[in-house]
A and B are shown apart, each in its own frame.
Chain A
Amino acid sequence: MTLARATGVILAKELRTEFRSRELLGTTIVFVLIVIVLFSFTFNPTSTESRRFGPGLLWLAFLFAGSLMLQSSFLREQTNDTLAALRLAPIDPFSILAGKMTANFLFLLLVEVILLPVFAVLYNVAILPVLPQLLLVLSLGTIGLAATGTVFSAVSAQARLRELLLPLLLLPVLAPVLIASTEATIGVLRAPSELSPVWLVFLTCFDVVFLTAAWMVGEYLLEE
Protein backbone atom coordinates (compact mmCIF):
# COMPACT_ATOMS: atom_id res chain seq x y z
CA MET A 1 0.00 0.00 0.00
CA THR A 2 1.33 3.44 -0.89
CA LEU A 3 2.29 5.95 1.77
CA ALA A 4 -0.37 8.42 0.59
CA ARG A 5 -3.15 5.81 0.68
CA ALA A 6 -2.23 4.52 4.13
CA THR A 7 -2.00 8.12 5.38
CA GLY A 8 -5.46 8.77 3.96
CA VAL A 9 -6.94 5.70 5.67
CA ILE A 10 -5.47 6.70 9.04
CA LEU A 11 -6.52 10.34 8.58
CA ALA A 12 -10.10 9.24 7.85
CA LYS A 13 -10.08 7.12 11.02
CA GLU A 14 -8.79 10.04 13.12
CA LEU A 15 -11.43 12.42 11.75
CA ARG A 16 -14.21 9.87 12.22
CA THR A 17 -13.36 9.11 15.85
CA GLU A 18 -12.87 12.78 16.80
CA PHE A 19 -15.98 14.13 15.09
CA ARG A 20 -17.97 11.30 16.64
CA SER A 21 -16.97 12.19 20.21
CA ARG A 22 -15.97 15.87 19.70
CA GLU A 23 -14.28 15.57 23.10
CA LEU A 24 -10.93 16.97 22.14
CA LEU A 25 -12.12 19.76 19.85
CA GLY A 26 -14.77 20.92 22.31
CA THR A 27 -12.38 20.97 25.27
CA THR A 28 -9.62 22.73 23.35
CA ILE A 29 -11.88 25.43 21.95
CA VAL A 30 -13.28 26.21 25.41
CA PHE A 31 -9.76 26.20 26.91
CA VAL A 32 -8.31 28.60 24.32
CA LEU A 33 -11.37 30.85 24.54
CA ILE A 34 -10.80 31.15 28.28
CA VAL A 35 -7.10 31.90 27.75
CA ILE A 36 -7.80 34.63 25.17
CA VAL A 37 -10.52 36.22 27.30
CA LEU A 38 -8.29 36.13 30.40
CA PHE A 39 -5.43 37.72 28.46
CA SER A 40 -7.78 40.51 27.35
CA PHE A 41 -8.79 41.13 31.00
CA THR A 42 -5.17 41.66 32.06
CA PHE A 43 -4.87 44.84 30.03
CA ASN A 44 -7.26 47.07 28.15
CA PRO A 45 -5.50 47.36 24.83
CA THR A 46 -5.74 50.17 22.35
CA SER A 47 -5.74 49.27 18.67
CA THR A 48 -2.00 50.01 18.34
CA GLU A 49 -1.09 47.97 21.42
CA SER A 50 -3.22 45.08 20.19
CA ARG A 51 -1.37 44.98 16.89
CA ARG A 52 1.93 44.83 18.81
CA PHE A 53 1.09 42.41 21.62
CA GLY A 54 -2.01 40.61 20.34
CA PRO A 55 -0.22 38.22 17.93
CA GLY A 56 2.10 37.01 20.68
CA LEU A 57 -0.82 36.29 23.00
CA LEU A 58 -2.72 34.65 20.14
CA TRP A 59 0.15 32.30 19.29
CA LEU A 60 0.77 31.51 22.95
CA ALA A 61 -2.88 30.49 23.20
CA PHE A 62 -2.48 28.32 20.09
CA LEU A 63 0.63 26.77 21.60
CA PHE A 64 -1.27 25.87 24.78
CA ALA A 65 -4.07 24.49 22.61
CA GLY A 66 -1.55 22.39 20.74
CA SER A 67 0.04 20.93 23.85
CA LEU A 68 -3.43 20.07 25.19
CA MET A 69 -4.77 18.63 21.96
CA LEU A 70 -1.71 16.72 20.80
CA GLN A 71 -1.35 14.94 24.13
CA SER A 72 -4.07 12.48 23.28
CA SER A 73 -2.92 11.83 19.72
CA PHE A 74 -0.95 8.71 20.66
CA LEU A 75 -2.38 8.30 24.15
CA ARG A 76 -5.63 7.14 22.53
CA GLU A 77 -3.73 4.31 20.87
CA GLN A 78 -2.60 3.03 24.29
CA THR A 79 -6.10 2.21 25.53
CA ASN A 80 -6.45 -1.09 23.69
CA ASP A 81 -2.89 -1.20 22.35
CA THR A 82 -4.23 -0.19 18.94
CA LEU A 83 -0.80 1.17 18.01
CA ALA A 84 0.33 -2.47 17.88
CA ALA A 85 -2.56 -3.19 15.50
CA LEU A 86 -1.41 -0.32 13.26
CA ARG A 87 2.18 -1.57 13.38
CA LEU A 88 1.05 -5.08 12.44
CA ALA A 89 -0.33 -3.74 9.15
CA PRO A 90 1.90 -3.84 6.05
CA ILE A 91 2.24 -0.05 5.79
CA ASP A 92 5.08 2.47 6.00
CA PRO A 93 5.37 3.43 9.71
CA PHE A 94 5.60 7.09 8.67
CA SER A 95 2.04 6.86 7.34
CA ILE A 96 0.85 6.43 10.96
CA LEU A 97 2.62 9.66 11.91
CA ALA A 98 1.58 11.43 8.71
CA GLY A 99 -2.09 10.52 9.16
CA LYS A 100 -2.08 11.80 12.72
CA MET A 101 -0.09 14.93 11.80
CA THR A 102 -2.60 15.81 9.07
CA ALA A 103 -5.53 15.22 11.42
CA ASN A 104 -3.91 17.34 14.15
CA PHE A 105 -3.16 20.09 11.63
CA LEU A 106 -6.82 20.18 10.57
CA PHE A 107 -8.08 20.13 14.18
CA LEU A 108 -5.74 22.95 15.22
CA LEU A 109 -6.54 25.01 12.14
CA LEU A 110 -10.25 24.60 12.89
CA VAL A 111 -9.72 25.80 16.47
CA GLU A 112 -7.70 28.78 15.20
CA VAL A 113 -10.29 29.77 12.58
CA ILE A 114 -13.05 29.62 15.21
CA LEU A 115 -11.01 31.76 17.60
CA LEU A 116 -9.88 34.42 15.13
CA PRO A 117 -13.18 36.39 15.19
CA VAL A 118 -13.18 36.31 19.01
CA PHE A 119 -9.62 37.62 19.01
CA ALA A 120 -10.54 40.34 16.50
CA VAL A 121 -13.43 41.55 18.67
CA LEU A 122 -11.69 41.37 22.05
CA TYR A 123 -8.45 42.94 20.84
CA ASN A 124 -10.01 45.44 18.46
CA VAL A 125 -8.08 44.20 15.43
CA ALA A 126 -9.42 44.20 11.85
CA ILE A 127 -8.60 40.80 10.36
CA LEU A 128 -10.92 40.64 7.34
CA PRO A 129 -8.78 42.82 5.02
CA VAL A 130 -5.71 40.67 5.72
CA LEU A 131 -7.42 37.29 6.04
CA PRO A 132 -5.56 35.48 3.17
CA GLN A 133 -2.14 36.54 4.50
CA LEU A 134 -3.19 35.63 8.04
CA LEU A 135 -4.37 32.19 6.94
CA LEU A 136 -1.04 31.60 5.20
CA VAL A 137 0.87 32.40 8.41
CA LEU A 138 -1.55 30.32 10.48
CA SER A 139 -1.15 27.36 8.12
CA LEU A 140 2.65 27.43 8.11
CA GLY A 141 2.85 27.87 11.89
CA THR A 142 0.27 25.16 12.48
CA ILE A 143 2.08 22.66 10.25
CA GLY A 144 5.16 23.13 12.47
CA LEU A 145 3.06 22.83 15.61
CA ALA A 146 1.23 19.70 14.42
CA ALA A 147 4.34 17.98 13.04
CA THR A 148 6.46 18.60 16.13
CA GLY A 149 3.62 17.90 18.54
CA THR A 150 2.67 14.61 16.88
CA VAL A 151 6.27 13.39 16.99
CA PHE A 152 6.67 14.29 20.67
CA SER A 153 3.25 12.83 21.44
CA ALA A 154 4.55 9.51 20.05
CA VAL A 155 7.69 9.82 22.19
CA SER A 156 5.94 10.79 25.41
CA ALA A 157 2.98 8.37 25.11
CA GLN A 158 5.10 5.44 26.25
CA ALA A 159 6.78 7.31 29.11
CA ARG A 160 5.82 7.73 32.71
CA LEU A 161 4.62 11.25 33.65
CA ARG A 162 3.59 11.60 30.01
CA GLU A 163 1.16 14.46 30.75
CA LEU A 164 4.08 16.55 32.02
CA LEU A 165 6.62 15.31 29.53
CA LEU A 166 4.91 16.50 26.35
CA PRO A 167 4.76 20.23 27.24
CA LEU A 168 8.30 20.01 28.64
CA LEU A 169 9.59 18.60 25.35
CA LEU A 170 7.31 20.51 23.03
CA LEU A 171 7.35 24.10 24.23
CA PRO A 172 11.14 24.70 24.00
CA VAL A 173 11.33 23.06 20.56
CA LEU A 174 8.43 25.19 19.34
CA ALA A 175 10.03 28.46 20.47
CA PRO A 176 11.32 29.21 16.91
CA VAL A 177 7.82 28.61 15.48
CA LEU A 178 6.32 30.86 18.14
CA ILE A 179 8.78 33.67 17.39
CA ALA A 180 8.47 33.38 13.59
CA SER A 181 4.68 33.08 13.60
CA THR A 182 4.30 35.99 16.02
CA GLU A 183 6.61 38.23 14.00
CA ALA A 184 4.87 37.30 10.74
CA THR A 185 1.43 37.95 12.30
CA ILE A 186 2.60 41.33 13.69
CA GLY A 187 3.66 42.25 10.14
CA VAL A 188 0.30 41.19 8.70
CA LEU A 189 -1.72 43.14 11.29
CA ARG A 190 0.49 46.25 11.04
CA ALA A 191 -0.86 49.30 9.19
CA PRO A 192 0.10 49.17 6.36
CA SER A 193 0.10 45.36 6.30
CA GLU A 194 3.38 43.70 5.40
CA LEU A 195 3.93 39.96 4.97
CA SER A 196 7.59 39.37 5.76
CA PRO A 197 9.13 36.78 3.40
CA VAL A 198 11.93 36.14 5.92
CA TRP A 199 9.57 34.71 8.53
CA LEU A 200 7.60 32.77 5.92
CA VAL A 201 10.79 31.14 4.63
CA PHE A 202 11.85 30.44 8.22
CA LEU A 203 8.52 28.73 9.00
CA THR A 204 8.64 26.75 5.74
CA CYS A 205 12.19 25.58 6.51
CA PHE A 206 11.18 24.51 10.04
CA ASP A 207 8.23 22.55 8.65
CA VAL A 208 10.34 20.85 5.97
CA VAL A 209 13.14 19.97 8.40
CA PHE A 210 10.78 18.53 11.02
CA LEU A 211 8.68 16.58 8.52
CA THR A 212 11.84 15.12 6.97
CA ALA A 213 13.20 14.18 10.40
CA ALA A 214 9.87 12.54 11.30
CA TRP A 215 9.94 10.59 8.04
CA MET A 216 13.50 9.41 8.72
CA VAL A 217 12.99 8.31 12.33
CA GLY A 218 9.28 7.39 12.17
CA GLU A 219 9.90 3.65 12.43
CA TYR A 220 12.02 4.03 15.59
CA LEU A 221 9.58 6.48 17.21
CA LEU A 222 6.80 3.92 17.10
CA GLU A 223 8.85 1.02 18.43
CA GLU A 224 8.21 -0.15 21.96
Chain B
Amino acid sequence: MRLALRGVSLDIAAGECVALVGHNGSGKTTLLKIAAQLTKPSRGTIAFYRKENSVPLEEVKNSVGMVGHHTLLYEEMTAEENLTFFAKLFGLAEPIERARQALQPVGLAGRATDLVRTFSRGMRQRLSIARALIASPGLLLFDEAGTGLDPEGQQWLGATIRRLHDSGCTILMSTHGRNETQSAVTRAIRLDGGKITQDSGAGGNPSEVLVMAAVRDSGEGDES
Protein backbone atom coordinates (compact mmCIF):
# COMPACT_ATOMS: atom_id res chain seq x y z
CA MET B 1 0.00 0.00 0.00
CA ARG B 2 1.36 3.43 -0.96
CA LEU B 3 1.15 5.89 1.90
CA ALA B 4 0.25 9.50 1.09
CA LEU B 5 1.88 10.81 4.27
CA ARG B 6 4.80 9.31 6.20
CA GLY B 7 5.99 10.39 9.61
CA VAL B 8 4.34 13.79 9.45
CA SER B 9 4.35 15.44 12.86
CA LEU B 10 3.05 18.95 12.97
CA ASP B 11 1.95 21.37 15.66
CA ILE B 12 0.06 24.45 14.49
CA ALA B 13 -0.67 27.19 16.99
CA ALA B 14 -3.85 29.26 16.98
CA GLY B 15 -3.54 32.32 14.76
CA GLU B 16 -0.87 30.92 12.44
CA CYS B 17 -1.21 31.15 8.66
CA VAL B 18 0.56 28.09 7.31
CA ALA B 19 1.27 27.39 3.65
CA LEU B 20 1.82 23.82 2.50
CA VAL B 21 3.92 23.63 -0.65
CA GLY B 22 5.13 20.71 -2.72
CA HIS B 23 4.70 18.85 -5.98
CA ASN B 24 1.45 17.26 -7.07
CA GLY B 25 1.02 14.07 -5.07
CA SER B 26 3.25 15.23 -2.22
CA GLY B 27 0.43 14.78 0.31
CA LYS B 28 -0.86 18.34 0.75
CA THR B 29 -4.51 17.55 0.01
CA THR B 30 -4.41 14.39 2.15
CA LEU B 31 -3.07 16.40 5.09
CA LEU B 32 -5.83 18.98 4.67
CA LYS B 33 -8.51 16.28 4.38
CA ILE B 34 -7.26 14.66 7.57
CA ALA B 35 -7.39 18.04 9.30
CA ALA B 36 -10.97 18.49 8.03
CA GLN B 37 -11.93 15.00 9.30
CA LEU B 38 -12.82 13.95 5.75
CA THR B 39 -10.17 11.22 5.71
CA LYS B 40 -9.12 9.04 8.60
CA PRO B 41 -5.38 8.45 8.86
CA SER B 42 -4.40 4.77 8.61
CA ARG B 43 -2.03 5.44 11.50
CA GLY B 44 -1.41 8.32 13.85
CA THR B 45 -3.71 10.85 15.46
CA ILE B 46 -4.88 14.41 15.09
CA ALA B 47 -5.64 16.58 18.09
CA PHE B 48 -7.61 19.81 18.28
CA TYR B 49 -7.03 22.29 21.12
CA ARG B 50 -4.23 19.93 22.26
CA LYS B 51 -6.89 17.48 23.50
CA GLU B 52 -6.36 14.20 21.68
CA ASN B 53 -9.69 12.41 21.02
CA SER B 54 -11.41 14.30 23.82
CA VAL B 55 -13.07 17.03 21.74
CA PRO B 56 -16.49 15.96 20.41
CA LEU B 57 -16.48 15.57 16.61
CA GLU B 58 -19.42 17.96 16.34
CA GLU B 59 -17.44 20.69 18.09
CA VAL B 60 -14.44 20.09 15.82
CA LYS B 61 -16.59 20.25 12.70
CA ASN B 62 -18.20 23.47 13.90
CA SER B 63 -14.78 25.08 14.13
CA VAL B 64 -13.40 23.97 10.74
CA GLY B 65 -14.17 25.53 7.36
CA MET B 66 -12.76 24.25 4.09
CA VAL B 67 -12.36 25.78 0.65
CA GLY B 68 -11.25 23.29 -1.94
CA HIS B 69 -10.27 23.24 -5.58
CA HIS B 70 -13.85 22.07 -6.14
CA THR B 71 -16.44 24.62 -5.09
CA LEU B 72 -18.47 22.27 -2.84
CA LEU B 73 -21.60 24.08 -4.05
CA TYR B 74 -24.83 22.96 -5.71
CA GLU B 75 -25.10 24.37 -9.21
CA GLU B 76 -28.89 23.94 -9.42
CA MET B 77 -29.41 26.12 -6.37
CA THR B 78 -29.05 29.87 -6.04
CA ALA B 79 -26.23 31.48 -4.04
CA GLU B 80 -28.62 32.25 -1.18
CA GLU B 81 -30.18 28.77 -1.22
CA ASN B 82 -26.73 27.18 -1.05
CA LEU B 83 -25.70 29.23 1.96
CA THR B 84 -29.08 28.79 3.68
CA PHE B 85 -28.82 25.03 3.19
CA PHE B 86 -25.37 24.89 4.81
CA ALA B 87 -26.43 27.30 7.58
CA LYS B 88 -29.28 24.90 8.39
CA LEU B 89 -26.92 21.90 8.38
CA PHE B 90 -24.71 23.73 10.88
CA GLY B 91 -27.81 24.36 13.02
CA LEU B 92 -27.46 28.17 12.85
CA ALA B 93 -30.32 30.36 13.99
CA GLU B 94 -32.08 32.42 11.30
CA PRO B 95 -30.31 30.66 8.42
CA ILE B 96 -31.76 32.83 5.64
CA GLU B 97 -30.64 36.04 7.35
CA ARG B 98 -27.24 34.46 8.03
CA ALA B 99 -26.91 33.52 4.35
CA ARG B 100 -27.76 37.05 3.21
CA GLN B 101 -25.20 38.49 5.61
CA ALA B 102 -22.54 36.05 4.39
CA LEU B 103 -23.03 37.19 0.79
CA GLN B 104 -22.15 40.82 1.62
CA PRO B 105 -18.39 40.57 2.30
CA VAL B 106 -17.81 38.38 -0.78
CA GLY B 107 -19.57 40.90 -3.00
CA LEU B 108 -22.36 38.59 -4.15
CA ALA B 109 -25.37 40.17 -2.44
CA GLY B 110 -26.60 41.41 -5.82
CA ARG B 111 -26.50 37.88 -7.25
CA ALA B 112 -28.18 36.16 -4.28
CA THR B 113 -31.07 34.77 -6.31
CA ASP B 114 -29.02 33.63 -9.31
CA LEU B 115 -28.24 29.96 -9.87
CA VAL B 116 -24.64 29.01 -9.13
CA ARG B 117 -24.27 27.46 -12.58
CA THR B 118 -24.48 30.96 -14.07
CA PHE B 119 -21.48 32.12 -11.99
CA SER B 120 -17.90 32.54 -13.21
CA ARG B 121 -15.06 30.58 -11.57
CA GLY B 122 -14.12 33.62 -9.48
CA MET B 123 -17.67 34.15 -8.26
CA ARG B 124 -18.02 30.49 -7.39
CA GLN B 125 -14.82 30.62 -5.38
CA ARG B 126 -16.06 33.69 -3.51
CA LEU B 127 -19.32 31.90 -2.72
CA SER B 128 -17.31 28.87 -1.66
CA ILE B 129 -15.46 31.05 0.85
CA ALA B 130 -18.79 32.44 2.11
CA ARG B 131 -19.95 28.82 2.56
CA ALA B 132 -16.81 27.91 4.51
CA LEU B 133 -17.24 30.96 6.75
CA ILE B 134 -20.98 30.52 7.38
CA ALA B 135 -20.47 29.01 10.87
CA SER B 136 -17.60 31.40 11.75
CA PRO B 137 -14.93 28.67 12.07
CA GLY B 138 -11.65 29.25 13.88
CA LEU B 139 -9.64 27.03 11.53
CA LEU B 140 -9.78 27.56 7.78
CA LEU B 141 -8.39 25.08 5.28
CA PHE B 142 -7.68 26.19 1.72
CA ASP B 143 -6.82 23.47 -0.80
CA GLU B 144 -5.29 25.25 -3.81
CA ALA B 145 -8.18 27.66 -3.64
CA GLY B 146 -6.51 30.04 -6.08
CA THR B 147 -6.37 27.51 -8.93
CA GLY B 148 -8.18 28.74 -12.01
CA LEU B 149 -8.60 32.29 -10.72
CA ASP B 150 -7.48 35.25 -12.83
CA PRO B 151 -4.93 37.70 -11.32
CA GLU B 152 -7.73 39.90 -10.00
CA GLY B 153 -9.38 36.89 -8.37
CA GLN B 154 -6.06 35.81 -6.85
CA GLN B 155 -5.57 39.31 -5.48
CA TRP B 156 -9.03 39.24 -3.93
CA LEU B 157 -8.38 35.80 -2.43
CA GLY B 158 -5.04 36.99 -1.01
CA ALA B 159 -6.71 40.04 0.58
CA THR B 160 -9.49 37.84 2.00
CA ILE B 161 -7.01 35.38 3.53
CA ARG B 162 -5.11 38.33 5.03
CA ARG B 163 -8.32 39.79 6.47
CA LEU B 164 -9.35 36.42 7.93
CA HIS B 165 -5.90 35.93 9.44
CA ASP B 166 -5.96 39.44 10.92
CA SER B 167 -9.35 38.67 12.47
CA GLY B 168 -7.77 35.76 14.37
CA CYS B 169 -8.49 32.75 12.15
CA THR B 170 -5.93 29.97 11.97
CA ILE B 171 -5.24 29.18 8.33
CA LEU B 172 -3.74 26.09 6.73
CA MET B 173 -3.51 26.23 2.95
CA SER B 174 -1.93 24.29 0.13
CA THR B 175 -0.55 26.39 -2.67
CA HIS B 176 1.46 26.20 -5.88
CA GLY B 177 4.25 28.49 -7.06
CA ARG B 178 4.41 32.08 -5.81
CA ASN B 179 1.13 33.98 -5.83
CA GLU B 180 -0.98 36.63 -4.15
CA THR B 181 -2.64 34.15 -1.78
CA GLN B 182 0.67 33.73 0.08
CA SER B 183 0.88 37.33 1.29
CA ALA B 184 -0.45 36.52 4.77
CA VAL B 185 1.66 33.39 5.29
CA THR B 186 3.54 33.29 8.61
CA ARG B 187 4.94 29.80 8.20
CA ALA B 188 5.68 27.59 5.19
CA ILE B 189 6.07 23.82 5.12
CA ARG B 190 7.39 21.83 2.19
CA LEU B 191 6.12 18.30 1.62
CA ASP B 192 7.96 15.83 -0.59
CA GLY B 193 6.70 12.30 -1.12
CA GLY B 194 4.51 12.55 1.94
CA LYS B 195 7.30 13.78 4.24
CA ILE B 196 8.04 17.23 5.63
CA THR B 197 11.35 18.27 4.08
CA GLN B 198 11.37 21.93 5.07
CA ASP B 199 9.57 23.92 7.76
CA SER B 200 10.22 27.61 8.35
CA GLY B 201 8.87 27.18 11.91
CA ALA B 202 6.41 29.26 13.87
CA GLY B 203 8.64 32.32 14.23
CA GLY B 204 10.74 31.79 11.11
CA ASN B 205 10.79 33.39 7.69
CA PRO B 206 8.46 31.57 5.28
CA SER B 207 9.75 33.42 2.19
CA GLU B 208 12.74 31.13 1.75
CA VAL B 209 10.60 27.98 1.61
CA LEU B 210 8.04 29.65 -0.66
CA VAL B 211 10.69 31.00 -3.06
CA MET B 212 12.47 27.62 -3.20
CA ALA B 213 9.16 25.87 -3.91
CA ALA B 214 8.30 28.40 -6.60
CA VAL B 215 11.71 27.93 -8.25
CA ARG B 216 11.32 24.15 -8.24
CA ASP B 217 7.76 24.42 -9.59
CA SER B 218 8.83 26.75 -12.41
CA GLY B 219 11.81 24.45 -13.15
CA GLU B 220 9.43 21.53 -13.48
CA GLY B 221 7.22 23.62 -15.70
CA ASP B 222 10.17 24.44 -17.99
CA GLU B 223 11.17 20.79 -18.20
CA SER B 224 7.65 19.72 -19.11
Contacts and interface: CB of A to CB of B under 8 A. Distances in A.
B73 interface: yes
B131 A1 contact: no
Interface in A176-224: 223-224
A89 B90 CA distance: 6
Interface stretch (A39-47, A78-86, A140-148): A78-86
Contacts, number: 73
Given A13-B85, A224-B38, A81 B74 contact: no
Given A88-B66, A90-B91, A9 B85 contact: yes
B40 A81 contact: no
Q: Is the interface of A mostly helix, strand, loop or mixed?
A: helix
B64 interface: yes
Contact of B72 (A13, A17, A82, A223): A82
Interface string B17-53: 0000000000000000100111110000000000000
A9 B88 contact: yes
B61 A80 contact: no
- The residue among A20, A82, A90 with the most chain B CB atoms within 10 A of its own CB is A90
B61 A90 contact: yes
Contact of A82 (B37, B73, B88): B73
Contacts of B90: 1, 89-90
A224 B1 CA distance: 16
Nearest to A21: B76
Given A81-B68, A81-B70, A224-B39, A20 B86 contact: no
A89 B89 contact: yes
28 contacts: A1-B91, A9-B89, A16-B77, A17-B76, A17-B77, A21-B76, A80-B71, A80-B72, A80-B73, A80-B74, A81-B68, A81-B71, A82-B72, A84-B66, A84-B72, A85-B73, A85-B131, A86-B89, A88-B37, A88-B61, A88-B64, A89-B61, A89-B86, A89-B90, A90-B89, A223-B39, A223-B40, A224-B38
Interface string B52-75: 000001110110111010111111
Given A79-B75, A82-B74, A87 B38 contact: yes
A13 B76 CA distance: 10
A35 B89 CA distance: 40
A6 interface: yes
A169 interface: no
